[in-house]
Homo-oligomer: A and B are copies of this chain.
Amino acid sequence: MIHRFRKMISLDSSVIKGSGDDCAVLKYKKGIYQLFTCDMIMEGIDFEPDADPFLIGRKALAVSISDIASCGGIPRDAVVSIGVPGNFKLSRMDGIARGMSALARFYGINIVGGDISGADKLIIDVSMLGTVGEKYLVLRGGARDKDIIFSTGSFGGSISGKHLRFTPRVKESQFLVRNFSVHSMIDVSDGLIQDLGHILEESKARGAIVFDYLVPQSAESRGLDDALYSGEDFELLFTVSPSEAENILKRHTRMFHPVGIIDNSIRGIRLENKQGCRRFPLKRGFRHF
């Protein structure tokens, strides 16, 4: 469906990158690009009807912040469209507003507008603007053969509620792009394996190996499959050259974990265990909790 859209659309030269990445990239000031992204979350799909409204509001903003972070940018301004069922309690609405504004304050984001209308189920769409220095911009499409694949944080905690409580990795992303040359980056919303697939696809890379024993698992993860396939961890996945990988490891930071390698001598993604046995990953990731 997205492909059908894309082929109908013409873009002018002010667009550095249109759809197909975490954010659109637009010309802005000298040396700076503007990032533009939108994310819609919906009751029953992205959160349970009885979820804490504070956390619903928080998540609505956090997913867009995560998109900005995965392009190396800093979130700046947001507009919010909300569809609200007729019987929706005002106290729950307050909770949503509080969750949103708390996160906005923390990240210094201006909520500059919005639109409220009726709906059958609660639905929140956030559009966000950010900025990124031209030299700091990272997209999905820059991975090269032999790049080392790193991640932030840990995986598999989404099922137990991390998808509502995750911290968008703005700090980690800023540290990364300001100190290292990053070839490609994505935030893990569909699952580690599936989002690595998006990096390969956009980078026109043939294959990659994920060392399953290196994938950091959340305390809440029920096993490796949760960590590899469950979505909405919103950690960053990125690739750097082998020499830059050494530079990252020399910093002894606990922010980043090597989990695999881009390998164009194979086709597709393989999982490798400690004994060196390789296997195919499961085909599907999970978009939602």
A98 close to chain B: CB less than 8 A: yes
Oligomeric state, in copies:
2
CB atoms of A127 and B76 under 8 A apart: no
The residues in A between 218 and 271 inclusive whose CB is less than 8 angstroms from any CB of B are: none
Most buried by B among A5, A8, A45, A104: A5
CB atoms of A118 and B45 under 8 A apart: yes
* Inter-chain contacts of A115 with B (CB < 8 A): 38-40, 125
* Inter-chain contacts of A117 with B (CB < 8 A): 40, 42, 45-46
CB atoms of B9 and A104 under 8 A apart: yes
A277 close to chain B: CB less than 8 A: no
- Pick the contact of A80: B14, B38, B42, B112 (CB < 8 A): B38
A208 close to chain B: CB less than 8 A: no
The distance in angstroms between the C-alpha atoms of A220 and B160, with both chains bound, is 56
* Inter-chain contacts of A15 with B (CB < 8 A): 77, 110, 112
- Interface digits, A1-17 against B, CB 8 Å rule (1 contact, 0 not)? 11011001111101101
Identify the stretch in A18-26, A141-149, A179-187 within 8 Å (CB) of chain B at 4 or more residues.
Answer: A18-26
CB atoms of A14 and B76 under 8 A apart: yes
CB atoms of B42 and A113 under 8 A apart: no
CB atoms of A113 and B36 under 8 A apart: yes
The distance in angstroms between the C-alpha atoms of A100 and B113, with both chains bound, is 23
A81 close to chain B: CB less than 8 A: yes
CB atoms of A29 and B29 under 8 A apart: yes
Q: Which residue of B lies closest to A105 (CB)?
A: B10
CB atoms of B39 and A110 under 8 A apart: no
A138 close to chain B: CB less than 8 A: no
The distance in angstroms between the C-alpha atoms of A11 and B123, with both chains bound, is 24
**Nearest 6 pairs of A and B residues by beta carbon:** A127-B127, A24-B112, A40-B81, A8-B101, A125-B125, A24-B113
Given contacts A36-B127, A39-B115, 17 further A-B contacts (CB under 8 A): A1-B90, A2-B114, A5-B100, A5-B101, A10-B105, A10-B110, A17-B112, A18-B111, A19-B112, A29-B29, A36-B79, A39-B81, A40-B81, A40-B82, A40-B125, A79-B127, A123-B123
